[in-house]
Structure 1
Amino acid sequence: MAGSTTKTVYDIFLSMENGPASTSSTVNAQAWLDHHSRSLGLFINGKFVQPAGRQSRSLADSKGGVVCNTACAEDEDISQCATSAVNGYKSWSSLTCFQRAKVLLRLVSALGLHGQCLTELCGLCENPCSPSSLVRLLQYYSCWAQLRDTFISDWTPIGVVAVVTSDNCSLYSLMLKVLPALAMGNSVIVIPGQSSGPPALLLAQLFMGAGLPVGALNVLTGSDVMLGAKVAQNPNIGYMTYSGDKQDGVMLCTASAGMGVPVSLSPSIGSTCPFIIFESADIDSAVEEVIETAFKKKKEIHWVLCVQESVSDSVVARLKLRLAGMKCVTLHSEAERLLVDAAVQQAQQQGAMLIQSCAAPPSGAQYPPTVLCGSAPSSPCVVNPGPGPLLPLMTFRTNSEAVAMGNHSPHGFAASIWTEDLTLALETAKSLSVGFVWVNSNSVYDPCLPVSGHKDSGTCTDGGREGLYQFLRPSISCPPLPRSLSISMNYSNFGTEVPAPVIPDASDPSNAPPTYLQFVAGKACKSVSGTNFPLQAPGCDTVLAFCPDGGRKDVRNAVEAAIKVQPGWAKKSQSARAQSLYSLAKGLEAKRQAIAASVTTQTGTSPDEADKEVEMSIVRLNIWGAYCDKVQGGSLPMPQSGSALSIPEALGVVGVVLPDKNPLLSMVTLLGAAIATGNAVIMVPSQKYPLPALTFIQVIQSSDLPAGLVNVITGSRDQLTVALATHSVIKAIWYWGSAEGCQYLQHTCTSPLKTLRLFRQKDEDGKDGGIDWSQSHPSLLEELWRNAVQWKSVWIPTA
């Protein structure tokens, strides 16, 4: 008909427009909110409570209307909640594995009845989460609840776990931590962000209806993420884990530093992730997916499009075709619009060319989908992208360039690789420093996939069997950090104490104490400063020896040597690494008498006890050699058609501040765990008992370990701790020391993030704390091994 504006199927096919969105009803969610008078209280001790006199926080929908108000918990509520969680833990952990699994499975039925209400509530809160994804989580973790004692024997639940999320964190990410914690027998206190608060409260109500013991799950809402730091002050909290953006995670870490609560972070939101298109890819499918991911889905992460030069023109042409006619994206505010305008102008000044669906409106909180072609790797829109529908596009020539671009970001959350060459896909996946790799696909999540945030994207593993261990501890374990209030300390002054002066001795030079050397970059050497500190014999003022007084420059030199050799060491076969550890054990056997004598001289133990420690050290190195090729990842049972791989990878460079207790055995135990998994290590021997470690340098020199893989630096523990904590390359620090040192590391190791394993040198009674190094229980060694690796999941669809 003339003048008709009705579009035919062919017209829609050419324009590739989406059909009109169906209008969804919110009747069930509105009724649930009305039932609670649109003022949601806290969920404590199995029921909603509405304490009097509490401040509230309003949650607005996309149109500016108020969805509901949530209460802001105060100290009295936190105390009541923690007491409830302790009682809930006693009831929940006392159930059998089968009984806990039944409770989680009953919640699947509850979601079947009330899934529509949950879906509508998530929509109102702008935190979409499908009930089917939660059902998959429940089914997966109910199975692990059933099999915990069968497959994870000799491990016990931590106790009360606090799960904290930021305002923009998804409900799925929240439940990915809550459900495994419950499945392992812990009780949980949830501190949700604003958008996930109402759905979390609804789920807590459904949990109670499914038979979860009173107090096993509590929900506290507040004004911001700092409520988590207040919860951490309660002595009943055993562990805290966080999901969301990094800024809130850093605030949580610094605020809770020194309280004795281990805190792990999964700051995936806002991460910059590479979307790599090789010339061997199905270009049409890749472009369709990048449009869907970058402009049509909720943007929790930022994507950078990396395209091989030979197909860049083809990709750009398809992007122009797909962007044509797309509508502007609504931003949260005009302030965001100003940030987007500034980012686009800066990218254009650096030579980027714009591809837009339409002209940007002159004002208002809207902006068209925009591709910034030819963006520079150093451009802010690539390194630190802001809000808005912006997609930077960069080109590369070779595979190695693609990997370099993909690893350019400080984040390491995920990557999407598009190629029909499976060998190229797997090689690229292994080379990228990210936790998730999707091949010819994107954003495929499943609870069976273990993911560790690489670089600045996390300090723990979520998902899969590996993600369960953060909620468990070995049944024969070292004591946790003692609970205490934060120490008032000046962080800038920590580790800056002036060493005691060394006074020359006028006695017979022939009887002068020996001077030892440290070990850096494969060479025995003096400290960069050239200074030494006197080492006194146990129980008297006699000087046994002079040891190098290492500092920041020594750590810098050691790290430079370590990062050169570590990638090659990690790529070595597991059997080759095992042979090196066996060789190290043989070298220790050959120098048994000299090293046993150093243990006796240094610690004052009897020769028999020292020889026994050497013998245990030899055995421990052989155990780690055997470990190298025995514990690996593998294929995972995904519910979709395809192949999923879990791969354990080395952390990189690990800093170890060694304990005073068993100076030789503790050193070889931690050294073996680090290098068996492919890491390089910088070891700081006990400041009180460094001689066994310095004598052990002779064993390292005679081994076939690459120069720079193992470095030994002596000196002030606090000064060297500062040097390790502030070096950007070091990924993890294992520390035995003072309460001040533990607090300093928790406060400082947030930019970039470092994985911390902290122990107090002395407990409150003045006794030696930490691990009983003479124990060789499998769960203890497995815990050390798991602290030395990070996990990567690779998903390859087949249909």
Structure 2
Amino acid sequence: MAGSTTKTVFDIFQSMESGPAAASSPTTAQAWLEHHSRSLGFFIDEKFVLPADRRSRSLNDGKGGVVCSVACAEEADISQCAASSVSGFKAWSGLSCERRAKVLLKLVSLLGQHTQCVSELCELCDASASPSALVRLLQYYSGWAQLRDTLITGWTPLGVVEVVTSDDCSLYSLMLKVLPALAMGNSVIVVPGWSCGPPALLLAHLFTGAGLPAGALNVLTGCDMTLGAKVAQNPNVSYVTYSGNKQDGVTLCESTAGMGVPVSVSPYIGATCPFIIFESADIDSAVEEVIEAAFKKRKEVNWVLCVQESVYDSVVARLRLRMSGLKCVALLRESDSSLVEAAVQEAQQQGATLVQSSAAPPSRTHYPPTVLCGAAPSSPCVVSPSPGPLLPLMTFRSNSEAVTLGNHSPHGQAASIWTEDLTLALETAKSLSVGSVWVNSHSVFDPCLPVSGHKDSGTCTDGGQEGLYQYLRPSSSTPSLPRSSPASLDYSAFGTETPAPIIPVDLDSAPQSLLQLVGGKTCKSVSGCSMAVRPQEGTATLGYCPYGGRKDVRNAVEAAIKVQPGWMKKTPSVRAQSLYSLAKALEAKMRVVAGSNCIQTSISVEEANAEVDLSVARLNLWAAYCDKVQGGSLPMPKSGSALSFPEALGVVGVILPDKHPLLSMATLLGAAIATGNAVILVPSEKYPLPVLSFIQVLQASDLPAGLVNVITGSRDQLAAAFANHSVIKAVWYWGSAEGCQYLQKTCTRPLKTLKLSCQTEEDWTQSDPALLEELWRNAVQWKSVWIPTA
């Protein structure tokens, strides 16, 4: 027809432009809000609570209109909520696994009845969540609620769990924390971000209709992130877990330091993730998918496109063709426009060229999709991306260079790999320091996939069976941190004490000088200082050991990072043989090691020999562990293959307890190196002699030099050195409450995995399988790989 503007199928396939979205009218959600007079309070003890004198804050939609007002909780609300959660935990955990599973399954049908209201409310509040994804979450975790006592024996729920999210977190990410906590028998206090507040209140109301006991799920809303720390301060809260952006996660960790409550964070929002296109990829599919991933209005991660040089021209040509008709993307805030323009100008000044949509932005609240070709790895648009539809593009020559570019970011959230070569895909996936790898796809999420942020992207695992253990503790254990108020601590002065001077008296009868172990060689401390080793305060000196400090830690880390990648790549059976060799070497040196333990701790010869025997048995046990727990295939509800496997953390700093100095060392050392980590050991400041005598055992074994380093000195000074070293990935600390508080406060830039304990009477002779499994899980991080099929 003449003058017709109707597009043909050929025109549509040429432009690949999305069709007009169906008009939506959130009438059901609006009716629910009107039912609550557009003023939402809290959800406590199975009912909505809205005190008359509470401050409130308005929640706006994407167009600036007011959706509703949400109340801000105060101390009285927190106390009421915590008391309700304690009662809810007793009722919920007292139910059988089958009863808990039925409650979660019933919620599936309730969610089906109210799908429209939930989806409309999420859209109004900009808290993205697909009802079908929520149904999948409920079905998956109802199964685990049924099987908890069958497949996870020897573990018990923590109690009251607090789930905190940032304002930019999705409802799906919130429920990925809430549902496993409930499935394991805990009660939950939800402190949602601003956009998730109304949907979280709606879901909590639906939970009561499914038969969840009163108090098992409560929701508190607040004006800012400080509410999360205020709730954590309540002594009834057993565990805090966070999801959202890193800045708010760090604030929460610092605010809760010293309260005696464990905190784990999943700061995935804003992470920089590589999108790697190899020359063996289907270029058309890869270009289509990177455009879909990178140019969303609201994207949780920032993508960096890495293209092999041999197909660079082909990729750029397809990007130009595909992007020519793309519409401008709406910015979240008008102020973002100046940030985006500044980032583009800076990238151009550094040599980047633009591939940009030809559409003109209708206003300053929109910006055209833009690819910054030729961006440098150190460019600000790569290191700290600005908001908006910008996609940096870098090139690489070889596979190893692609891995280097992919690992350049401080984040380790996810990566997308595009290649038709399966061997190349798996080798690259194993080499990337990320928690999730998608082959020829991107952003594939399912609750059966363990999502473990590597590097600066998290300190816990969500999803899969692996993600359940953060909400459980071994039945035979007790909380390792006593609840308390934070101490008044001078963080800048912590660990800065100087060693007591050693005055020469009788040089003819001077005790022996002991040495530490760094890089496989015995040595003195860099400072040259020493400290006296005595069985008890005021007794005769047994010897002088080095007073190690920050420079000794630096040297030990340098030695450890040289050998750790090679040790991690060894097969599990090879690592097992090395641990068996270590146990055999300890058995051969039993008289020397037991003698030093006897002299240092004043225990009997029989007790010292028994501790050596237990230490040998513990090392043999970890040797057996090496090739027994290695992940496997996951049952995804899609066509394809999903794999999960544990990986080493890297370099682990271990500060040993005073009790059972030899056995505790063997237990912790075995767990760390069995999983592929390198270790820096700090012996008990009070009883260092048994570990120093163990250096002879290490040198007699076939462990690589530098894999295990031993530094003696002040516990607090070395803890501070561990906390401030960016390469050390985890710190295991047995010591004072002040030391635990310091580590919680300072191990956030970058994030470190912490295992902290103030227990002085911990029984290391226990061989409870759950206790040993907990140690093993503290030594690994999980990676999932998704490979789709046709």
How high is the TM-score relative to the length of structure 1?
0.98
| Aligned match for 1:694, one of 692, 695, 700 | 692
Per-residue Cα deviation, 1:178-205 (whole angstroms, up to 9, x for no partner): 0000000000000000111100000000
Partner letter of residue 398 of structure 2?
A: T
Question: Structure 1 residue 364 and structure 2 residue 364: aligned?
Answer: yes
Q: Which residue is 2:380 aligned to?
A: 380
Per-residue Cα deviation, 1:716-772 (whole angstroms, up to 9, x for no partner): 1111011000000000000001111000000000010000000015xxxxxx24x31
| Alpha-carbon distance between aligned partners in 2 of 1:499 and 1:547, rounded to the nearest angstrom | 12
| Alpha-carbon distance between aligned partners in 1 of 2:729 and 2:253, rounded to the nearest angstrom | 17
The question of whether the paired residues in 1 share the 8 Å contact of 2:327 and 2:359 is answered with: no
Partner letter of residue 634 of structure 1?
A: G
Q: Which residue is 1:198 aligned to?
A: 198
| Alpha-carbon distance between aligned partners in 1 of 2:226 and 2:678, rounded to the nearest angstrom | 36
The question of whether the paired residues in 1 share the 8 Å contact of 2:352 and 2:374 is answered with: yes
Q: Which residue is 1:417 aligned to?
A: 417
Partner SS state of residue 43, structure 2: strand
Partner SS state of residue 728, structure 2: coil
- In the TM superposition, residue 508 of structure 1 has moved relative to its aligned partner by 5.5
| Aligned match for 2:525, one of 516, 524, 527 | 527
The alignment of Structure 1 onto Structure 2 pairs a total of residues equal to: 790
Q: Which residue is 1:10 aligned to?
A: 10
The question of whether the paired residues in 2 share the 8 Å contact of 1:663 and 1:693 is answered with: yes
Q: Which residue is 1:776 aligned to?
A: 767
Q: Which residue is 2:569 aligned to?
A: 571
Instruction: Kindly report which structure 2 residues correspond to 1:275-314, keeping only aligned pairs within 5 A, or say none.
Output: 275-296=275-296, 298-314=298-314
- In the TM superposition, residue 478 of structure 1 has moved relative to its aligned partner by 4.2
| Alpha-carbon distance between aligned partners in 1 of 2:118 and 2:361, rounded to the nearest angstrom | 36
Q: Which residue is 1:153 aligned to?
A: 153
- In the TM superposition, residue 365 of structure 1 has moved relative to its aligned partner by 1.8
Structure 1 range deviating more: 252-261 or 7-16: 7-16
Partner letter of residue 517 of structure 1?
A: L
The question of whether the paired residues in 2 share the 8 Å contact of 1:161 and 1:240 is answered with: yes
Partner letter of residue 374 of structure 1?
A: G
Instruction: Kindly report which structure 2 residues correspond to 1:157-556, keeping only aligned pairs within 5 A, or say none.
Output: 157-296=157-296, 298-358=298-358, 361=361, 364-505=364-505, 507=506, 509=508, 511-538=509-536, 540-556=538-554
Per-residue Cα deviation, 1:534-585 (whole angstroms, up to 9, x for no partner): 1123253311110000000000000001011000000001111001001101
Per-residue Cα deviation, 1:83-118 (whole angstroms, up to 9, x for no partner): 000000000000000000000000001001001100
The question of whether the paired residues in 2 share the 8 Å contact of 1:478 and 1:772 is answered with: no
- In the TM superposition, residue 358 of structure 1 has moved relative to its aligned partner by 2.2
Instruction: Kindly report which structure 2 residues correspond to 1:779-790, keeping only aligned pairs within 5 A, or say none.
Output: 779-790=770-781
Q: Calculate the aligned-residue CA RMSD, in Å.
A: 1.0
Instruction: Kindly report which structure 2 residues correspond to 1:111-150, keeping only aligned pairs within 5 A, or say none.
Output: 111-150=111-150
Per-residue Cα deviation, 1:673-730 (whole angstroms, up to 9, x for no partner): 0000000000110000000000000000011100110000000111101100000000
Question: Structure 1 residue 620 and structure 2 residue 618: aligned?
Answer: yes
Q: Which residue is 1:764 aligned to?
A: none
Partner SS state of residue 306, structure 1: strand
Q: Which residue is 1:739 aligned to?
A: 737
- In the TM superposition, residue 362 of structure 1 has moved relative to its aligned partner by 9.5
Instruction: Kindly report which structure 2 residues correspond to 1:611-760, keeping only aligned pairs within 5 A, or say none.
Output: 611-760=609-758
Structure 1 range deviating more: 54-63 or 203-212: 54-63
- Equivalent pairs: percent with the same residue? 75
- In the TM superposition, residue 361 of structure 1 has moved relative to its aligned partner by 4.6
Instruction: Kindly report which structure 2 residues correspond to 1:54-65, keeping only aligned pairs within 5 A, or say none.
Output: 54-65=54-65
Partner letter of residue 660 of structure 2?
A: N
- In the TM superposition, residue 480 of structure 1 has moved relative to its aligned partner by 2.6
Q: Which residue is 2:91 aligned to?
A: 91
Structure 1 range deviating more: 531-540 or 378-387: 531-540
| Alpha-carbon distance between aligned partners in 2 of 1:257 and 1:444, rounded to the nearest angstrom | 35
Partner SS state of residue 29, structure 1: helix
Structure 1 range deviating more: 689-698 or 359-368: 359-368
| Alpha-carbon distance between aligned partners in 2 of 1:583 and 1:685, rounded to the nearest angstrom | 22
Partner letter of residue 66 of structure 1?
A: V
Partner letter of residue 598 of structure 2?
A: T
Instruction: Kindly report which structure 2 residues correspond to 1:11-50, keeping only aligned pairs within 5 A, or say none.
Output: 11-50=11-50
- In the TM superposition, residue 127 of structure 1 has moved relative to its aligned partner by 1.4
Partner SS state of residue 731, structure 1: strand
The question of whether the paired residues in 1 share the 8 Å contact of 2:176 and 2:447 is answered with: yes
The question of whether the paired residues in 2 share the 8 Å contact of 1:677 and 1:788 is answered with: yes
Structure 2 unaligned residues grouped into runs of 5+: none
| Alpha-carbon distance between aligned partners in 2 of 1:255 and 1:408, rounded to the nearest angstrom | 30
Partner letter of residue 202 of structure 2?
A: L
Structure 1 unaligned residues grouped into runs of 5+: 762-767
| Alpha-carbon distance between aligned partners in 2 of 1:568 and 1:717, rounded to the nearest angstrom | 30
Partner letter of residue 640 of structure 1?
A: K
Partner letter of residue 212 of structure 1?
A: L
Partner SS state of residue 764, structure 2: coil
| Alpha-carbon distance between aligned partners in 1 of 2:268 and 2:507, rounded to the nearest angstrom | 64
Partner letter of residue 408 of structure 2?
A: H
Partner letter of residue 642 of structure 1?
A: G
The question of whether the paired residues in 2 share the 8 Å contact of 1:650 and 1:678 is answered with: yes
- In the TM superposition, residue 360 of structure 1 has moved relative to its aligned partner by 5.7
Partner letter of residue 463 of structure 1?
A: G
| Alpha-carbon distance between aligned partners in 2 of 1:106 and 1:600, rounded to the nearest angstrom | 61
| Alpha-carbon distance between aligned partners in 2 of 1:363 and 1:97, rounded to the nearest angstrom | 56
How high is the TM-score relative to the length of structure 2?
0.99
Partner SS state of residue 57, structure 2: strand
The question of whether the paired residues in 2 share the 8 Å contact of 1:526 and 1:548 is answered with: yes
| Alpha-carbon distance between aligned partners in 1 of 2:532 and 2:8, rounded to the nearest angstrom | 89
Per-residue Cα deviation, 1:224-265 (whole angstroms, up to 9, x for no partner): 121100001100000000000000000000000000010000
Per-residue Cα deviation, 1:12-61 (whole angstroms, up to 9, x for no partner): 22221111100112111001000000000100011000012111111101
Partner SS state of residue 492, structure 1: coil
Partner SS state of residue 335, structure 2: helix
| Alpha-carbon distance between aligned partners in 2 of 1:636 and 1:517, rounded to the nearest angstrom | 49
Partner SS state of residue 783, structure 2: strand
